[in-house]
Amino acid sequence: MSIDQYALCPCGNGKKIKFCKCKDSVGLMDQVLNMVNGGQVVPALDRLKSIITEHPDAAWALAIRGRLLIGLGEHETLKENAEHFIRLQPANPIALSQMAVVRLTEDNLPAAADLTLEAFSESSDQIEASVIDNAFMVALNAYSKQRYFSAQVYAMLCAGSETVFSQQALSALSQMYSSPNVHQLMKEVPELLPHPADADWAERYEEAKALFDDRKILLADSKFESLKRSGVTHPAVLSGLLQCAVWRCDERRQQDLALQLSQDESLDLIARQRLRAITDLLADEPEASTSLYRLRASFPDVSEAEMALTAEAQIEAMTGQDFSGLELEGQEVSPRSGFSVVQPTDDGKFNAVVGSLFLYGRQTDREPELICVNVVEADLEAVKAAISQALPQAEITEDKSNIVPLWSFPMGTPNQKELPDNPVELKPYLEEFANSTFGQRVCSVGLPLLGGKSLAEAASDDSLLFERQVVVRLLEGRQLLQTLKQPMQYIYDAAKIDPLPELEIPEDQLGSVKAIDLGRVKMDGIGFEGLLWITFTAQHSGQVGVVNRWAGAAIEYAKTHEGDEVNAEQVVQAYTLWAPLAESDTAILERLSEGMEYADKHSIDPLELLMQRFEHRLVSADAEGFQADMTLLQQRYGNNPQVIGMVQQIMMRYGLINPDGRPRSAAPPAAAAGPSDQFTAAPAPSQGSSGGLWTPESGSSAPASDSGEGGGKLWVPGMD
């Protein structure tokens, strides 16, 4: 082919072909690309290999080969290729970014981040698309390690670029923002603070900031650092360093800087509380946390022990499905039987499960044993006492096995035997259970941050006021506590900390409110647009309590103000967000039906609301309503294959039909125990394969997940 000698060389080093060492071999590129585009990846790799042997300077070939190897997951060869590439062109952004991927395969996230940032620094104004694609892998890796700030900045960069992964990056971000397992404070990187107007270091700060804005993060970092070394410890400089530490995936440093900022008395008090809370969220061993214990008891005869446990009043036998297939760490087999230790809640209304016991029989080389995992410190004595009561001879040992951050402290599990059979009653039951116990439990747990005291014990200790505020800020950031009013009120009262004051913001300035503050914007005087703006923005960051209040207000507004000002389509959209947040199944159905009526009245397609209602009636075993909605769907959308496909998917999900579309024999709607979507706080009776039990061994997902689903699911490139 004819080559424009003055075009940029495809190896990515920024030189023109004429001046690059690729000059002699780049004519072979077309041939290789034809193979790749024709799907002949393996022959293309062979060809590239021989080209590289023949022309060791062919950086363009190394660049293409590296990209193919990344796609194929050929880590060993990729490493060799990247090392060759870097030796040849140490400052080539593509070489650096491919080396970053190698570091990721070696599980070295900070090194991968630094190489990626070096690739940015070495890039011209425009960062090469493949470098950004590789940066998305940094985002994924950071997310999987729960380094949410870092995951965000990289994913945002990818989402803002038109590259292969920009859509995935967007959905990854929205997945993260809506995840109840991600603390609200981790959904927004602390902002870069401005310098005081009269600072004599202002110019140096501006230089660093300009580099930062230009994505020359490593250079910005050293400028901020040198400012700090010369004695400028102003929050503006620390906030710059914090931003750089986020890009560098350096959590220890983020934590240090957040802590230093939280101690700076020139900052607003609420900002300081939040920064201190962030410090705790970044820590490997958070101080607002409590210990989890693993108990073991040994005894000679397993059958006798089983009988004794069965006979014990405070202990209930589990049914098979709760422990079958359960594999505790270090155990090769499933337990022989399982038991729950139950205890009445303080108000006497419920019995709560405080420990799950798993009994192992004698196997070839071990004695029978009883194991109890993840007992929170507060329940330790009760569980031990129950075991001793049943097995007075047994020797019980305890180990601290883990810690659980207070903000994700388990909501508690009610005694399964007392759960209502009717799925319609289940949600209010679980909500009542959490209301009745959670606030009290969370306030009675000793916390290292409060010098071992609980929130309730520290309530009158003035020297711990700031720390108490921090703990309350941590609890407020849990999605679920926004919908459960009672526990949060209990916590405010018990800790003697006020809720955050309302913010009075003129409607035209709502855009300046941080996501985390949406919940305290004063509603009075905000018009339709503003009500919706807050609704949708809060929805984006998973603040269901805020959505519930503001969407409700927007809908109320629409009902009383017909006219140009009200956009009926947006009202219907608000209904779709608002309806599922109602406190009972009946109320959800009412909201959905009301929304459909509104949509029909304004000639708007109510499909989304109808689908929600259809699914909801299925979940709540409303056979009659389910049939009626099915008929309605057929009447209205019978010849829309997409809608019918969605209906089939829902029915498949609840086991009503087989994947081939044939009805399944024994699955009436009443048996469909689907994922209860809104209130999944208290672990549902049999949640997932681990039998409703969260065990730290069972994976890296956050403890006490508020929803049955893990957060990492969407974070796979290639999934839709």
Give the binding site for Zn ion (CB under 5 A).
Answer: 9, 11, 20, 22, 59
| Least distance in angstroms from the C-beta of 112 to Zn ion | 24
Q: Six-digit token pair at 263?
A: 């101690």
Least Cβ distance, residue 4 to Zn ion (angstroms): 13
**For tokens 């029915």, what's the residue?**
651
Angle (CA) 110-97-31 rounded to 5° is 160
Q: How far is the CB of 222 from Zn ion (least distance, A)?
A: 29
As measured in angstroms, the least distance from the Cβ of 60 to Zn ion is 5
Q: What is the DSSP letter of 502?
A: P
Closest contact distance (angstroms) between CB of 553 and Zn ion is: 60
With contact defined as beta carbons under 8 Å apart, do 437 and 409 qualify? no
Name the residue nearer to Zn ion (CB basis): 9 or 29: 9
**Residues contacting 590, CB < 8 A, separation 6+:** 582
| Residue number with CB closer to Zn ion (129 or 382) | 129
Using an 8 Å Cβ cutoff, are 677 and 580 in contact?
yes
Closer of 22 and 354 to Zn ion (Cβ): 22
Is the CB of residue 461 less than 8 Å from the CB of residue 411? no
The Cα 338–Cα 373 span in angstroms is: 12
- Smallest distance, Zn ion to C-beta of residue 227, A: 38
> What tokens does 16 get?
């023109």
CA distances from 618 to 78, 612, 657 (A): 50, 10, 13
Residue 208 burial (CB count, 10 A) = 26
Nearer to Zn ion, 92 or 543 (CB): 92
* Of residues 11 and 494, the one with the C-beta less far from Zn ion: 11
* Phi and psi, residue 403, nearest 5°: -130, 155
Among left, alpha and beta (phi > 0; psi -120 to 50; other), residue 496 is left
Q: Please, what is the minimum distance in Å from the beta carbon of residue 164 to Zn ion? A: 23
- Please, which residue, 84 or 540, has the CB nearer to Zn ion? 84
* Nearer to Zn ion (CB atom), residue 31 or residue 263: 31
Between 59 and 189, CB nearer to Zn ion: 59
In whole angstroms, what is the distance from residue 305 CA to residue 289 CA?
34
Q: Residue written as tokens 């956050």? A: 702
* CB count in 10 Å sphere of residue 324: 14
Q: Pick between residue 59 and residue 702 the one whose CB is nearest to Zn ion.
A: 59
Closer CB to Zn ion, residue 11 or residue 227? 11
We find the least distance from the C-beta atom of residue 469 to Zn ion, in angstroms, to be 57
Which CB sits closer to Zn ion, 11 or 633?
11
3-class SS string, 91-145 = CCHHHHHHHHHHHHHCCCHHHHHHHHHHHHHHCCCCCCHHHHHHHHHHHHHHHHC
Q: Give the Cβ contact number of residue 366 at 10 Å.
A: 12
The residue among 30 and 399 lying less far from Zn ion, judged by its C-beta, is: 30
What SS3 state is found at 178?
helix
Dist CA 630 CA 647 (whole Å): 9
CB of 116 to Zn ion, least distance (A): 21
Q: How far is the CB of 8 from Zn ion (least distance, A)?
A: 9
Sequence-distant (6+) residues with CB within 8 A of 393 are 299
19 versus 301: smaller Cβ distance to Zn ion: 19
Is 494 within 8 Å of 447 (Cβ atoms)?
no
Which tokens is 461 given?
């200790």
Q: One-letter amino acid identity for 633?
A: L
3-state DSSP helix/strand/coil percent for the chain, to nearest 5? 55, 10, 35
Residue 503 carries which DSSP code? B
Nearer Cβ to Zn ion, position 13 or 705? 13
Q: What is the number of other CB atoms lying within 10 angstroms of the CB of residue 386? A: 25
Residue 62 or 443: the one with the smaller Cβ distance to Zn ion is 62
Distance, CA of 15 to CA of 287 (rounded, Å): 52
Name which of 82 and 295 has its Cβ closer to Zn ion: 82
Longest dimension (CA), the chain: 89
Q: Half-sphere exposure of residue 349, counting CA atoms within 13 Å on the CB side?
A: 10
Q: Report phi then psi at 643, rounded to 5.
A: -65, -45
- To Zn ion, the closest distance from the beta carbon of 534 in angstroms equals 52
* Residue 378, amino acid: A
Q: For 307-311, which contacts have Cβ atoms below 8 Å and span 24 or more sequence positions? A: 308/390, 308/391, 309/339, 309/357, 309/359, 309/370, 309/390, 309/391, 310/339, 311/390
* In the complex, least distance from residue 58 CB atom to Zn ion, rounded to whole angstroms: 8
Question: How near is the Cβ of 135 to Zn ion at its closest, in Å?
Answer: 22
C-alpha distance from residue 570 to each of 170, 305, 535, 545 (Å)? 22, 62, 11, 19
Least distance to Zn ion from the beta carbon of 11, Å?
A: 3
From CA 356, how far away is CA 477, in angstroms rounded?
28
Closest approach, Cβ 22 to Zn ion, in A, equals 3
Q: Quote the least distance from Cβ 7 to Zn ion, whole Å.
A: 11
